[in-house]
Amino acid sequence: MSTQTANYGGFERWLPKLVLAPAFALTLVFVYGFIIWNGYLSFTPSRILPNYEWAGLIQYERLFDNERWWVAVKNLGIFGGLFMGISMALGLFLAILLDQKIRMEGALRTIYLYPMAMSFIVTGTAWKWILNPGLGLEHLMHQWGFEQFTFDWLVNPEMSIYTVVIAGVWQSSGFVMALFLAGLRGIDDSIIKAAQVDGASLPKIYWRIIIPCLRPVFFSTLMILAHLAIKSFDLVMALTNGGPGFASDVPATFMYAMAFTRGQIGMGAASAMMMLATIAALVVPYLYSELRGSKNG
């Protein structure tokens, strides 16, 4: 009896490991294995097909000499900065409004969150119709009699990246609102009541007390939005397809074009490694601060 109990206890200890082992093995091969493979390809002269001959840093030199790559990097800076800044400002503003215990809060929260339920492909396609000068907003205004109204950002090389910002902010600000609202609801009411007793106005309470308390939420939101911005691909492809020309290219679309349509697998792999390095530069300090905080706490 005691032997059976011991065997059963041993099986219970191994059961979670056996259940997780296939997923762990698949992740190891299809995520980290392919990252290593991609990293090696970035040091080879691969073009249409993989070529495993070692070529050193030649693909990185070609990448940094490529004008289209620097357009993509500049666009990522514009898109990332505006996307994160406007989404966080709008999300915080909406969260503060909903935190006033207004009527129909549940319905409004659902409406704000609804865009996040859609994929970036659907969002990009919808905004492509809205911003198309011949079909969308400009056409509608002309029909209403405003013949001088123009809004051609979608086909303007100087402004096309800002249409991606508009669509991205529309999709993500509701999600950011939900994160900030959860943070606001987690703040102890007694702190706010004590400030009100001392005569502090509501805007001053939010500016001096509540918003500083949301620092961890700000940090987590920034990480999520930065991650979304760096790997943006489907939204750009659906909305502008990187155009006009390559005016709204971002690193993800550049990587796709080089690796799968231009027969430049080596350069595509090098650009993918640069994207990975950028994400690592953001995530590693975050993980370090989180692990350090949990260790001290």
Residue-by-residue DSSP string for 119-177 = -HHHHHHHHHHHH-TTTSHHHHHHHTT-TT----GGG-TTTHHHHHHHHHHHHHHHHHH
- The pLDDT, as a whole number, for residue 70 is 95
| 115 pLDDT more than 90 | no
- The pLDDT, as a whole number, for residue 75 is 94
How large is the average pLDDT for residues 208-230?
A: 87
Helix axes 34-41, 265-296, angle to 10 degrees: 130
In angstroms, rounded to a whole number, what is the distance separating the alpha carbons of residues 272 and 231?
A: 10
Do 278 and 255 meet the contact criterion of CB atoms below 8 Å apart? Answer: no
* DSSP H or E stretch at residue 221: helix 215-230
Query: Which of 196 and 34 is assigned the larger pLDDT?
Result: 34
Lowest mean pLDDT among 77-81, 158-162, 278-282: 278-282
- The pLDDT, as a whole number, for residue 69 is 94
pLDDT band for 9, please (50, 70, 90 cuts). Answer: low
Q: What is the pLDDT of residues 124-174, one digit of tens each?
A: 999 999 998 888 888 899 989 888 888 889 889 999 999 999 999 999 999
Q: CA geometry: angle at 233 spanning 230 and 237, to 5°? A: 145
- The pLDDT, as a whole number, for residue 293 is 66
- Token pair, residue 77, equals 């800076």
Residue 128: C-alpha distances to residues 82, 200, 203 (Å): 19, 47, 38
In angstroms, rounded to a whole number, what is the distance separating the alpha carbons of residues 167 and 178?
A: 18
- The pLDDT, as a whole number, for residue 133 is 87
How large is the average pLDDT for residues 260-282?
A: 91
Q: What is the pLDDT of residues 166-182, one digit of tens each?
A: 999 999 999 999 999 99
How large is the average pLDDT for residues 116-127?
A: 88
- The pLDDT, as a whole number, for residue 216 is 85
Q: Which residue has the tokens 């900030």?
A: 180
How large is the average pLDDT for residues 207-223?
A: 87
Residue 225 CB neighbours (<10 A) = 21
Q: How high is the mean pLDDT of the chain?
A: 87
- The pLDDT, as a whole number, for residue 148 is 87
In angstroms, rounded to a whole number, what is the distance separating the alpha carbons of residues 71 and 90?
A: 28
Query: Which of 197 and 74 is assigned the larger pLDDT?
Result: 74
Q: What is the pLDDT of residues 38-63, one digit of tens each?
A: 999 999 999 988 889 999 899 999 99
Q: What percent of the chain has pLDDT over 90?
A: 40
- The pLDDT, as a whole number, for residue 7 is 64
pTM of the full structure: 0.84
Query: Which of 196 and 229 is assigned the larger pLDDT?
Result: 229
Query: Which of 201 and 4 is assigned the larger pLDDT?
Result: 201
Do 130 and 136 meet the contact criterion of CB atoms below 8 Å apart? Answer: yes
